[in-house]
Every structure is written in C-alpha cells, then in structure tokens.
Amino acid sequence: MPKVNNRMKGTVYLVGAGPGDPGLITKKGLDILQAGDVVVYDNLVPGELIISLPRSVEKYYVGKKAGAHTLPQEEINRLMVKLAKDGKNVVRLKGSDPLIFGRGGEEARFLKENGVPYEIVPGITAGIGAAAYSGIPCTDREKASFVTFVTGHKAGDKETSTVPWEWVAGVENGTIVIYMAVGEIENIIGKMLENGMPPERPCAVIERGTLPTQRTFTSTLQSMVDKVKAENIKAPAIFIIGEVVEFRENMKWFESKPLIGLRIMVTRPPDQAQDMYRSLRELGAEVLPYPTIGTENAEDDGAWTSFGKIIGKKKWLIFTSENGVRYFFRQFIGRFGDIRKLGDCKIAAVGYGTARVLKAFNIRPDFIPKTATTLSLAEELREAFDLAGVRAVRVRGNLGDNRVERVLEEAGATVLPLPAYRTFYPQWPDGFKEKLFEHPPDVITFTSGSTCEGLCRLLPESKIRTLTEGKAIVSIGPSTSEIIRSHGIDVTLEAEEHSIPGDINEIVKHFRK
C-alpha cells in the first residue's frame, strides 16, 4: 500500500468516495485515505470508509444537506489550508466525484492560491454509478451517442440557473442526467415540455443510488412529477431522461439479492467486522457501521512471566472470545517468536466463532461446549475431563467475570488469568448519530453482550427505545441474548451456530420467509 506519509507533508488529497456503495471507491483513493493523517468528509460519504479508519486519524465532518451546511464552503477551504500548513496530510473525502458538481474545482483553486500542494483522485460519479446499478446505460450504440450532465439546483430561479434548458429540451439521440433534481423536478419537467421535449420521452428517478435501499422509478416525462410525489422520493436522487431508460426492464440486476433494501446495523468493532460488512453487502443489505465497543492491546508482563514458567508443560489454554485468540497470538509471537513453544497443551474455545479464528492460525480446538457461554465452557469442560492438578490458562479481556476461573479451580485446576486486551466504549464520529436516526436500521446485530452494553452507554434510554422498537434484534448466542433482554430489548433472532456466519444465516432465513 502506498504511504501518503512518505510523501511531502502538508498535501491535500481531493478524493472521490463514489456514489454510495463503499466498494466503489478506487483503490488509489482507498490507499490514500487509509494512510492519511486527517480526513475531512461530507454527508454522502459511506460511513464504512470513515468508521474503519484508525482512531489516530483526525476526523472532521463538514456534511452538507439541502438547506443545511455544517460548515460554509469558505470555512471548509480555510480548514484544509490550516491542517495542511500544520504539516498534516489531509484527505478531503467527497461523495461521488470531486469535480462533477462536487465543488472540488473551487477547493483546488483555493489551495493553489494559498500555496498548499494538492492531488485530485477521481471517483465514480453518481450519474454513472446510480444508472448502472439500476440497469440503465448512459450511452448505447443505437439509442444514445452522448450523455449530458446537468445540475437541477435552482432550476426554477431564472436569475441563478445558467443551464440552457431550451437547448437541453431539444436533445435527440442522447441521455440527460440531472443532479440535485428532486426539489426542482416540477420546474425542470415544465421547462422540458415548454421547450418541445416530447411528453412521452422515457425517464427515470433513482433515489439513494448504488445503496441497497436504492429505489428506481420509471415513467414518461409527463407522468414523472406525479410519480415523484406519490412515492415521496427524496434527495439524494438522480433524474435521467432518454430512450436508454427502456433498457432497465431487461438489464436490472441489483434488486434480486436476498437482503435487498434492508438496513442492518453492525455494532461489532470495525477491525473485526470487515468480513461481516462484505458478506451483508454481497447479500444486498445496506450496512450501517456503528461499533459500540472497541478493543486494544493490553499486555500484562506479570501474567506473561508466569506463563513463561509453564511453557513446554502440559496445560489447557482456554479462549473465551475471538479477541482473546487474536491478541494472545500476537503477543505470544512477539515474546517467544515460535508457535512451537506453546508446547504440550490442549485448547478450548467458547464457540464456533472463536474456533474459526483459531483455524486461521491453523489450530483446531480440542473442546467446544454445546452452549456458547463462558460458564457453559467451564462447566462442560469440568464434566468432560479430570481437571485435578491441571494447569489452565484463561486468556481474557478486562470485562466479564471470574466464573471460568472459579469453576475450574473448584474442579482442582490451577488457573492463570492472562489478560491480553482491553475493551472500551468508543464515540461515533461527528454526523453519524444524526444519520442513524434519519435513516434508521431494520435490523440490529449484537455479536457479544458488550456490544449491547456499549450501545446503552452511547445513547439515552429514550433513544434506545426509538432505535430498537419494531426492529429485528439479532443475537449471536444465549449469553448475549440474556444481556440484551436485561436492557429491556426483545431478541428477535438468535444464531443457531453462535458465530458471525450463524448470525447472517438467521437473518437470511428470517427475511426470505
């Protein structure tokens, strides 16, 4: 991956994030984003791109919505200059493409005037991306030999709009793609009809293009205003006029996925949730990345010194979380350098999710309890094996209780608690909370009890009720369900296999009914 920080300090990168689907950012754009010091981001930037950045990255939300700006453009410009002159590499992350109705040209000129070096990384513009996800080609050898991008902003204001609507209305054998059109669609269509465009000309409106909650409506030009009102179409939306709209019926592909249209809130930490994000997106869901916990390395030198004294000796190594596996092996290799130094040990995993992470290290656990809870792990292990005189190492975080240690010690084992990580409760970046309630989830997933505890710390009780009532609440297993219910939240689905794939399978089965 190219490292932005190896380049000249104080550079601003104007990066297009694409039209909504986080997978549509270019590789160059993603590499620069992940290596920057600061990100300055807009309202329409996919949340997954922001939430997945390291905590060390400074994040500035400057989101713009119709009629409301977090920061005026002039202040955004000054902010970028200040950050760059402080010696930081700044990623100015913009929805769609920076230079297609994105004011990237204004920003680049301001940076130039103030002596700040910059680079421009293009993105997929909404007019192309939304059309493609709707099955509408912008050009076609027979139907459209050119495409015209137009802004519909202030189309009804003769003094402000500089679009030559009378010329646009006379377009033949081409496609017209109009941005920011919803609020002015009646004026736009009126101008088209007044200037001679045929009322039967095919057209389409695409709301929230490239997102799984995308909605596409087609009609003739004369019928579109009524359709927009009847369907309550809202920004962001693209308006397309042209014969190519007729191809949609045979070319549409995006709407066929099993979870299409579902908004699924993922509370798992982003560094552990990438596969979950990807799987849900591939099934058609819109992923809402709202981590309610985070984890970080927390080495205990005293515990590792004690562990070093029993290296090579017989023991049970007990993992009660996926995080425990990741952090333990990172620390173990860092201290001892060779996995073979684990010596003669048996390994227990609390459930199939933890076992799956062990498999990534080419390790198969010797024991998995029938019920995926820490208490069941200890009790079933005690029933299955004679633990008298056995050494047991419990890898753990800072949360949870000591029931595993207590049960094993009652069975005669000598237990060494080995803290490997710390769980903390993060804050969401600016703008995230507002967007969550503006477009709330249909499904909320909890992959541990602590993810539910974290949500209840982030939001007041009244907001929790608003967020969860009437939603499908998905739990990864019995102990997580118990904690969810303790907060007065009903559990809709509990994974049969207590793992992330188990969670996703339950969601698919439930919504396919």
C-alpha to C-alpha distance for 175 and 240, rounded to whole angstroms = 7
Nearest to 240 by CA among 155, 144, 167, 161: 144
| Number of residues assigned to the chain | 513
What order of strands is seen across the sheet that includes strand 443-446?
286-289, 263-266, 443-446, 472-475, 493-494
- List the structure tokens of 166: 């009378």
Calculate the CA 156 to chain-centre distance: 37
Sheet of 391-396, strands arranged across: 345-349, 315-319, 391-396, 414-419
Q: For residues 77 and 13, what is the distance between their CA atoms, to the nearest angstrom?
A: 13
> What does the alpha-carbon distance between residue 109 and residue 112 come to, in Å, rounded to a whole number?
5
C-beta pairs of 300-307 under 8 Å, 24+ apart in sequence: 300/418, 300/419, 300/420, 303/416, 303/417, 303/418, 303/419, 304/331, 304/335, 304/418, 306/416, 307/393, 307/416, 307/418
CA distance 464 to 462: 5
User: What is d(CA 280, CA 283) in angstroms, rounded to the nearest whole number?
Assistant: 5
Residues acting as catalytic residues: 42, 64
- In degrees and rounded to multiples of 5, residue 461 shows phi and psi of -55, -40
Q: Look up residue 454 and give its two tokens.
A: 């974290």
CA distance 298 to 398: 9
Query: Which strands form 147-151's sheet, in the order they lie side by side?
Result: 147-151, 175-179, 237-241, 202-207, 215-220
Calpha distance 31→93 (Å, rounded) = 12
Q: Are strands 414-419 and 391-396 parallel, antiparallel or unpaired?
A: parallel
User: Measuring CA to CA, how many Å separate 2 from each of 6, 168, 326, 445?
Assistant: 8, 43, 26, 34
Instruction: List for the chain the helix, strand, coil content (%; round to 5).
Output: 40, 20, 40
CA angle (17 as vertex; 13, 21 as ends), nearest 5: 165
Quick one: CA torsion of 226, 228, 230, 232, rounded to 10 degrees? Answer: -150
